[in-house]
Amino acid sequence: MAKVIFKDIKKSYDDVEVVKYFDFTVEDGEFVVFLGPSGCGKSTTLRMLAGLETITSGEIYIDDRLINNVDPKNRDLAMVFQSYALYPHMTVYENIAFALKLKGMPKAEIDVEVLKTSKILELEPLLNRKPKELSGGQRQRVAMGRAMVRTPKVFLFDEPLSNLDAKLRGVMREEMKELHRTLKTTTIYVTHDQIEAMTLADRIVILNEGYVAQVGTPTEVFQKPANKFVAQFIGNPAMNMIDTKLIEEAGQWFVELETLRIPLPERFTHQAKKDLSVCMGIRPTDIHVRAEHIDHDRVFECPVTIKEKELLGASILLKTKVGKADFVVEIAATEVVSEDSKLFIDLDAIHLFDSATEQSLAL
């Protein structure tokens, strides 16, 4: 096992900077997910660690060893790609055994290793099949097996589940998690799927346009997004965002919401400035149609027009308007809503971002 240190990393292709600044340490045994939209630099960062891309500037260490100039095959990493890249003419057994054979391991030992790994991955009944005779999920497990037998210091995964259907992705997520619990190998996992990130990661690194937008546990990035980008990227349906400003009257601060004034929760007041342009964020699940379960001194009540109702199964999405502002609200399907329903906003769940810097005012 090992820790991985990225120090002041930058990457440019000609004069285009694609990784602008990446400085981060993956701790020994940790499962870290790089998450972000397409093109933000996730794969490039992973590939620099793997030695498949040159590093424009900065240093990468595995434990204390600087690896910038170490040959990829001597970095002691194993990478699984989205495409799996199995050898089509080889059986499952041969695919898994390949790296060990190259190393010159005796046949009897290879046998032991391949059987041990295929047992963990439940591939034993499939060892004589060729990749084309396997389902997507089975191929994915073979690709993992090939990486595992090498007992690398670090596992690297680049969108390994994105070719699978939703149900199989769910199953494979469980298996990945279980595998990490068993092997405890330091793992870096790249995805643009927030559910994968939330369910798998010890910590998530959220990237945007070549920068780190936030690092945190799944709970931290969901509950305390450091900026507007993270707030909108994490959570589905997305957080409601309303452009507004702060006002002060007789020593009390408010957020303006149409003709209404929402008292500013205390955690924001240290950064409050008169007429500061802010963006108020509130998750669809933090707006309610009943207020009984929220303390009355931290609930804000507002009149609403309900435009549309969408039944999602266990929940209902309401498309609503408070004045001119749009609010999406998610409530349990068992809730009753009528024409004259009101919305109750949980003040503890409000987020505020400075419109100019897009940073949270609660930091």
Ligand X SMILES: Nc1ncnc2c1ncn2[C@@H]1O[C@H](COP(=O)(O)OP(=O)(O)OP(=O)(O)O)[C@@H](O)[C@H]1O
Give the footprint of Mg ion on this chain (CB under 5 A): 43
Q: At what angle do helices 166-183 and 136-148 cross, to 10 degrees?
A: 20
DSSP-derived 3-state class of residue 197: helix
**Cβ 140 to Mg ion, closest distance in Å?**
17
> Given candidates 8, 13, 128, 223, which one binds ligand X under the rule CB under 6 A?
13
Structure tokens at 132: 């084309």
Least CB distance to ligand X at residue 174 (A): 23
Does residue number 43 form part of the binding site for ligand X (CB under 6 A)? Answer: yes
Q: How far is the CB of 45 from ligand X (least distance, A)?
A: 7
Contact string (CB under 6 A) for ligand X, positions 17-36, x = contact: -x-----------------x
Nearer to ligand X, 40 or 264 (CB): 40
Is the separation of the CB atoms in 269 and 340 below 8 Å?
no
* Binding partner at 40 among Mg ion, ligand X, none, C-beta below 5 to 8 Å by kind: ligand X
The window from 40-48, 141-149, 163-171, 352-360 that contacts ligand X (CB under 6 A) reads 40-48
Residue type, 104: G
CB of 271 to ligand X, least distance (A): 32
Please choose which of Mg ion, ligand X, none residue 44 contacts, taking the beta carbon within 5 to 8 angstroms, the exact cut-off set by kind.
Answer: ligand X
The least distance separating ligand X from the CB of residue 177, rounded to whole angstroms, comes to 22
**Measured from the CB of residue 192, what is the shortest distance to ligand X in angstroms?**
5
User: In a 10 Å sphere around its CB, with 0-12 CB exposed, 13-18 middle and 19+ buried, how is residue 293 labelled?
Assistant: exposed
Identity (one letter) of the amino acid at 148?
A: M
DSSP state of 297: G
> From the CB of 18, what's the least distance to ligand X, in Å?
4
Indicate the residue among 113 and 158 with the shorter CB distance to Mg ion: 158
Tell how strand 252-257 and strand 325-332 pair up: unpaired
Choose the one of ligand X, Mg ion, none that binds residue 180, judging by a C-beta under 5 to 8 angstroms depending on kind.
none
Q: Which residue is nearest to Mg ion (CB)?
A: 43
CA–CA gap between residue 169 and residue 162 (Å, rounded): 8
Choose the contact partner of 87 out of Mg ion, ligand X, none; CB within 5 to 8 A by kind.
none
Long-range contacts of 300-308 (CB under 8 A, 24+ apart): 300/260, 300/262, 300/263, 300/344, 300/345, 300/347, 301/342, 301/343, 301/344, 301/345, 302/257, 302/260, 302/342, 302/343, 302/345, 303/342, 303/343, 304/341, 304/342, 304/343, 306/337, 306/339, 306/341
Size of the site for ligand X (CB under 6 A): 11
User: Among all chains, which residue has been given the structure tokens 């191929």?
Assistant: 139
Degrees to nearest 5, angle at CA 50 with 47 and 51 = 85
Find the binder of ligand X among 5, 41, 230, 353 (CB under 6 A). Answer: 41
State the DSSP code for 238. Answer: P
Please state the closest distance from residue 38 (CB atom) to ligand X, in A: 3
Residue 87 near ligand X by CB under 6 A = no
Q: Among 38, 74, 182, 338, which residue interacts with ligand X (rule: CB under 6 A)?
A: 38
Interaction residues for ligand X, span 183-212 (CB under 6 A): 192
Q: Are strands 325-332 and 4-13 parallel, antiparallel or unpaired?
A: unpaired
Distance of CA 337 to the CA centre of its chain: 34
Site for ligand X in 293-312 (CB under 6 A): none
43 or 244: CB nearest Mg ion: 43
Give the 3-state secondary structure of residue 333.
Answer: coil
Q: Which entry of Mg ion, ligand X, none binds 29, CB below 5 to 8 A by partner kind?
A: none
Residues that bind ligand X (CB under 6 A): 13, 18, 36, 38-44, 192
